[in-house]
Amino acid sequence: MSEIFLGLGADGERQVLRLGRANRHGLIAGATGTGKTVTLQTIAEQFSAAGVPVFMADVKGDLSGVCMAGSPQFKNAAILESRAKEIGIADYAYADNPAVFWDIYGEQGHPVRTTISEMGPLLLARLMDLNETQEGVLNIVFRLADDEGLLLLDLEDLQSMLAYVGQNGTQLALKYGNVSRATVGTIQRQLLALESQGAAQFFGEPALEIADFIKCDDQGRGYINVLAADRLMRSPKLYATFLLWLLSELFEVLPEVGDPEKPCLVFFFDEAHLLFDDAPKALQDKVEQVVRLVRSKGVGVYFVTQNPIDIPEEIAGQLGNRVQHALRAFTPRDKRAIKAAAETFRINPALDVETAITELKVGEALVSTLDDDGAPSVVQRTLVAPPRSRLGPITAKERAIVQSISPFDGKYDTRVDRESAEEVLAAKAADAAATAQEVEEKGREEVAKQERKSPGLWDGIGGKVAKAAAGAAAASAGSILAQTMQGKKSRASPKASAASAAAGTVADTLGKAIGIPGLGRFARNLIGGLMR
């Protein structure tokens, strides 16, 4: 199978999407109720049959039927069968598809999580609608956490780090820049708003492994990954940010493959306008960059939206495969959209595209795809092929059955909360509070005479320094090993990194122990050289 059958053109020519050109991205557009969702389902199940995994967001809840075979008893079965006969599909038969359900909230599928660190300050700033100053403070928080070796995994970690930065802004100013408590407070309020929308469930571990989206079943069919997005759509910025993060992760993780015979993954971005609504220029530039470059990773990105003018021109110019359903000219903006859509197609002398767009019936579309030589085909008015899977949602019981046979059953379902920034900072605060209380009760001089609660710096090889150094070395080497196992490349040497981590721990502890600020930085290089 080297092509996907889209439908039959008015001239009797088969309209196909070539698998070898499917990574050149595409657009499915049209007004509400014109058949975009059915077209998406038809294309997705054919990609799956060709061994290409698919990711798509189920915004309205009716794409879940892709995992179940259609039925002659379905209310629209006669229409589907009639359409198949009309466009010459002789072997039309109902069939199911391998599917995996995902849900950020963990209610209708496997939970989808990432860590705060993986999301990064740019996307988080977009998610919280921060201004330039607030984004700068967020960058300081990430940099400080990185310098101190503190893990930012969930919202609690970020909230704790923000509180720490706000309390110690004066001491941090010379190295990281000014931080006002008012700015920190504003970011904290935005985090609380995110938490109330359920975003806390999105951040944490176990984090999603992108490779799990790129799998086939034992029959060689690509899994169709369906994200339950009906609830997620109530938080449109979280939805758009999540999909952009996912696209960015694909770009970072996947290797370069050029133009493969077929994509390694096809990504359908429904309600695509949400990604660009009120987005700052920097974010639009990032989207454009990722879309342009992810093609060479073997990923095809298909934007699904009502109006083609919802997509910025820089990105729309990269969408080579187009399926345009009907548009309605009720407003001046609608008329501009129709004109813009008509001008993007390769001219067909036998077709008045601008008029045809307003006359298309449900299940009809204007289709133009890339030929073998990469040139766009002449636009044709097309009867779209019917899907073979069920139209409409599945029941809760059917969803539970599908989930029970998922290849990822049990992998992501239980949340893990390991030690990270929140726990470390809480422990430091508790120690400081206990010491302050003791000083208040016994006096500073009396407390100073007491034996240290922690072992001395050179209290034998089994002391605190040795343990801390060993722990740091193990953590560093373990981190590199984990990255290697996850397919993330690293230029770091496990031996050198472990030595550096241990040296840093010894040097910092030494500096604190003898009361000379900055000695850790001086000693780190010296000790590190001796330990390698």
In the chain, how many domains are there? 2
Residue 304, beta-bridge partner list = 28, 270
Where is 28: in which H helix or E strand?
A: strand 26-29
The separation between CA 19 and the C-alpha centre of its own chain, rounded to angstroms, equals 24
- Is residue 489 a part of any domain in this protein? no
Q: Helix, strand or coil for residue 315?
A: helix
Which one has a higher pLDDT value, 527 or 194? Answer: 194
Q: Helix, strand or coil for residue 272?
A: coil
pLDDT tens, position by position, 448-496 = 666 655 443 334 333 434 444 444 444 444 444 334 434 444 334 444 4
What percent of the residues of the chain are helix, what percent strand, and what percent coil, each to the nearest 5?
50, 15, 35
For residue 315, what is the domain's CATH number? 3.40.50.300
- Is residue 264 a part of any domain in this protein? yes
Question: What average pLDDT score do residues 207-232 get?
Answer: 94
Q: Which of 149, 184, 201 is the last residue of a domain?
A: 201
On whether the CB atoms of residues 368 and 322 are closer than 8 A, the answer is yes
- For residues 16 and 96, membership in a common domain is answered with yes
- For residues 197 and 233, membership in a common domain is answered with no
- Is residue 415 a part of any domain in this protein? no
Of the candidates 327, 321, 366, the one whose C-alpha atom is nearest the C-alpha of residue 348 is: 366
Which of 295-304, 322-331, 428-437 has the least mean pLDDT? 428-437
Of the candidates 58, 207, 200, the one whose C-alpha atom is nearest the C-alpha of residue 118 is: 207
Which one has a higher pLDDT value, 359 or 517? Answer: 359
- Is residue 431 a part of any domain in this protein? no
What is the residue whose two structure tokens read 């939970």? 111
54-58 vs 224-228, strand pairing mode: parallel
- Is residue 219 a part of any domain in this protein? yes
DSSP for residue 201: G
Which residue intervals of 168-221 are DSSP H helices?
A: 169-176, 181-196
- For residues 250 and 274, membership in a common domain is answered with yes
Question: What average pLDDT score do residues 91-104 get?
Answer: 95
Q: Is the pLDDT of residue 13 over 50?
A: yes
What percent of the chain lies above the pLDDT cut of 90? 56
Q: Is the pLDDT of residue 386 over 90?
A: yes
The whole-number pLDDT of residue 491 equals: 36
On whether the CB atoms of residues 246 and 299 are closer than 8 A, the answer is no
224-228 vs 99-103, strand pairing mode: parallel
Which of 6-15, 203-212, 422-431, 483-492 has the least mean pLDDT? 483-492
Q: Which of 154, 181, 201 is the last residue of a domain?
A: 201
Which one has a higher pLDDT value, 465 or 434? Answer: 434
- For residues 340 and 356, membership in a common domain is answered with yes
- For residues 282 and 358, membership in a common domain is answered with yes
Residues 6+ apart with CB under 8 A from 44: 54, 56, 66, 97, 224, 266, 268
Q: Which domain holds residue 393?
A: 3-113+206-405
pLDDT band at 320 (very low <50, low <70, confident <90, very high): very high
Q: Report the C-alpha gap between 250 and 530 in whole angstroms.
A: 40
The whole-number pLDDT of residue 161 equals: 95
- For residues 229 and 299, membership in a common domain is answered with yes
Which residue intervals of 310-393 are DSSP H helices?
A: 313-316, 332-344, 353-359
- For residues 236 and 345, membership in a common domain is answered with yes
Q: Report the C-alpha gap between 126 and 117 in whole angstroms.
A: 15
- Is residue 242 a part of any domain in this protein? yes
Which one has a higher pLDDT value, 242 or 366? Answer: 366
- For residues 104 and 245, membership in a common domain is answered with yes
- For residues 154 and 76, membership in a common domain is answered with no
The whole-number pLDDT of residue 378 equals: 94
> Please, what is the average pLDDT of the chain?
83
Question: What average pLDDT score do residues 401-414 get?
Answer: 93
Residue 270, beta-bridge partner list = 304
The whole-number pLDDT of residue 447 equals: 65
pLDDT band at 298 (very low <50, low <70, confident <90, very high): very high
For 80, half-sphere exposure in the C-beta direction (CA atoms, 13 angstrom radius) is 21
Which of 80-94, 356-370, 468-482 has the least mean pLDDT? 468-482
| Per-range mean pLDDT, top range of 107-121, 191-205, 333-347, 495-509 | 107-121
Of the candidates 209, 205, 316, 320, the one whose C-alpha atom is nearest the C-alpha of residue 254 is: 209
The encoded tokens of residue 212 equal 């799990």
Q: What is the DSSP string of 432-446?
A: HHHHHHHHHHH-HHH
Question: What average pLDDT score do residues 161-185 get?
Answer: 93
- For residues 134 and 231, membership in a common domain is answered with no
The whole-number pLDDT of residue 167 equals: 93
Which of 319-328, 407-416, 429-438 has the least mean pLDDT? 429-438
Q: Is the pLDDT of residue 532 over 50?
A: no
What is the residue whose two structure tokens read 């985090």? 191
Residues 6+ apart with CB under 8 A from 430: none
pLDDT band at 123 (very low <50, low <70, confident <90, very high): confident
pTM of the full predicted structure? Answer: 0.79
- For residues 19 and 98, membership in a common domain is answered with yes
What is the residue whose two structure tokens read 């290409």? 52
- Is residue 156 a part of any domain in this protein? yes
Q: Report the C-alpha gap between 70 and 83 in whole angstroms.
A: 15
- For residues 65 and 160, membership in a common domain is answered with no
Q: Is the pLDDT of residue 354 over 50?
A: yes
Q: Is the pLDDT of residue 502 over 70?
A: no
Q: Is the pLDDT of residue 395 over 90?
A: yes
Of the candidates 64, 121, 91, the one whose C-alpha atom is nearest the C-alpha of residue 397 is: 64
pLDDT tens, position by position, 27-58 = 999 998 899 999 999 999 999 999 999 999 99
The whole-number pLDDT of residue 327 equals: 92
Q: Report the C-alpha gap between 254 and 76 in whole angstroms.
A: 40
Q: Which of 405, 433, 457 is the last residue of a domain?
A: 405
- Is residue 123 a part of any domain in this protein? no
